[in-house]
Structure 1
């Protein structure tokens, strides 16, 4: 009993301390993904501790666990309904409701019809696919009659990306901010009732022992997107598989640099990966938006065979109501300099990815 308590306590401390170390190597960055799980295990271990012999070592261990529970709780409560945020509503001059779906389809998932049925069922105005290769592009052609506007970046390296829209695309481009095989999509859209906005789709590489050894390319790509967002004088949505969590240092820096809003604050984690394992599920498919975007619904949808759950969002655009401006944080001079440094480090990093990836 004591041995199990001791091992769990050591692991909780380790997974709590590693993300605080300012290194880019994956071993320091990945533990941040599991903050929810670390919090839950810490609470259970703390409770388990009351069934053990209460000596000095026990008191120290319980004290450390209590501190870590409070520490993780303060961070995580921000992404729950327990955290107080003002519920701003759009005015009567807002756009009609719009919907999008963002989905990492998993390149090796061949159950195309299940995803197509999901799109036909939800009927979003636009949808974004990630890890979509040539086979996925061919399968999705059946949807092009309903989605006549598209922007396709077909790759076989698990970083392909496709954007489909019922709304008119007035302009679109593919960015390769830090590497020539990691795309981001920028699409300028116009609604039927005359509202314009810009949709960014992102999918930077994750820091992991099997992919990128550091977070340099991920962070550089995201912060390059943030800089690009600041150059645009239109309502903006940035969505995709960030391979990052909202509470990480680079995500917070992204939010401040772009001056966008995180809609999860005061609402929900919206965990998406891994789709098949509920307890080991992390909120890494993120979304950020400008103050003109008013979110009505943000949630995950049912699994369609991928390792990620799709993200669904219903929103309106409102140029009149500026109440959400109070939710914007801005980067100070030191943070701006740090963002520039991270962008340059991302560009210098050589990801060594294969052009074609097989399962």
Structure 2
């Protein structure tokens, strides 16, 4: 029994040391090194494991030595570091995008459903059912290839306006809209195989806003898929510059392949122009739908100051590794 307890103690110490190292390295998430950026993703998990590890060590340690104090201080520091990133996606902090319950006659409301369907997923009906149930004004679908595009043609009758940029590399994108789309441009901001849309959307009351649909590549490497190895991911900074110069109401939405943790300015290169609808509301973890223990927010909506939030929710599974996200906004 004593031997098992000793082995268990050693394992706890090793886990503690790794947690401290990983948390400290995660501070350098914007250093341009993909392995450091990947440590930015599992902050929720590291935060929880650090609490469990601290609790176990305090039970196991009978006689405190210098390294026990050192490891405890390191774990508490790790807890604080991760908390600094996580706290903005909790109700402890005030929201950045104000909520609204009653819409004034001068204001216009509209909704967006966005979903990364995962190209290899062949279950189309769950997404179609969600669209029928939620009845969004805009539907943004990512990882769309020719097969998925054909299956989604059923939406054409309800959504007379649409734009497609299809490919077989998991970065195809389709935008469906009940609202008129003006001047839709397909941009390739940082990779010739990764499209994004810039659309001007007209609301019934004649108000307009710019809608940026984007799906940049992740920091991890996937064989035979687009990759930005050796260069900085600049797509969102380019969009941020456009919004900063344009001055019109704007929305940025999509699978950003980044957890963000509310640091929108760092990601987009803007300064208090774009606001994360999650701040002060919750994590709404959209990835990984297939793994309860490894989830974090990857699908995001940023808006300029003119918008108010009516509703934000994560929708049920559709067979993808992402949960769809639904947002209702007021302009």
**TM-score, length basis structure 2:** 0.89
Question: What is aligned with 1:115?
Answer: 127
Aligned-residue offset at 1:66: 1.1
Match of 2:91 among 81, 96, 110: 81
Which deviates more, 233-242 or 205-214?
205-214
Q: Deviations over 1:70-98 (max 9, x none)?
A: 22212211110011347735672543321
Question: What is aligned with 1:176?
Answer: 188
Equivalent pair of 2:313/2:327 in contact (CA under 8 Å): yes
Which deviates more, 279-288 or 159-168?
279-288
Is the helix fraction higher in 1 or 2? 1
Match of 1:159 among 162, 166, 171: 171
Equivalent pair of 1:95/1:195 in contact (CA under 8 Å): no
Q: Which runs of 5+ in 1 are unaligned?
A: 318-359
Question: What is aligned with 2:202?
Answer: 190
- Name the CA shift for 1:244/1:226 in 2 (closer, same or farther; >3 Å): same
- Name the CA shift for 1:195/1:87 in 2 (closer, same or farther; >3 Å): closer
Aligned-residue offset at 1:23: 3.1
Distance in 2 (CA, whole Å) between partners of 1:243 and 1:258 is 22
Aligned-residue offset at 1:47: 1.0
Question: What is aligned with 1:282?
Answer: 296
Q: Deviations over 1:19-74 (max 9, x none)?
A: 23353222111010111111111111111111112322212111111121122212
Question: What is aligned with 2:143?
Answer: 131
Distance in 2 (CA, whole Å) between partners of 1:10 and 1:260 is 37
Does residue 18 (structure 1) correspond to residue 29 (structure 2)? The answer is no
Equivalent pair of 1:200/1:239 in contact (CA under 8 Å): yes
Q: Secondary structure at the match of 1:51?
A: helix
Equivalent pair of 2:262/2:279 in contact (CA under 8 Å): no
Aligned runs of 1:60-71 on 2, under 5 Å? 60-71=70-81
Distance in 2 (CA, whole Å) between partners of 1:57 and 1:69 is 18
- Name the CA shift for 1:100/1:213 in 2 (closer, same or farther; >3 Å): closer
Aligned-residue offset at 1:278: 1.8
Q: Secondary structure at the match of 1:83?
A: coil
Equivalent pair of 1:226/1:258 in contact (CA under 8 Å): no
Question: What is aligned with 1:342?
Answer: none
Match of 1:56 among 66, 69, 75: 66
Note the aligned Cα RMSD (angstroms). 2.0
Does residue 316 (structure 1) correspond to residue 330 (structure 2)? The answer is yes
Match of 2:257 among 229, 239, 243: 243
Question: What is aligned with 1:320?
Answer: none
Distance in 2 (CA, whole Å) between partners of 1:229 and 1:282 is 27
- Name the CA shift for 1:30/1:251 in 2 (closer, same or farther; >3 Å): farther
- Name the CA shift for 1:200/1:10 in 2 (closer, same or farther; >3 Å): same
Question: What is aligned with 1:265?
Answer: 279
Aligned-residue offset at 1:252: 2.6
Aligned-residue offset at 1:294: 0.6
Distance in 2 (CA, whole Å) between partners of 1:297 and 1:268 is 12
**TM-score, length basis structure 1:** 0.83
- Name the CA shift for 1:207/1:48 in 2 (closer, same or farther; >3 Å): same
- Name the CA shift for 1:93/1:255 in 2 (closer, same or farther; >3 Å): farther
Match of 1:299 among 310, 313, 325: 313
- Name the CA shift for 1:165/1:249 in 2 (closer, same or farther; >3 Å): closer
Match of 2:35 among 8, 27, 32: 27
Q: Deviations over 1:260-279 (max 9, x none)?
A: 11121111112111111122
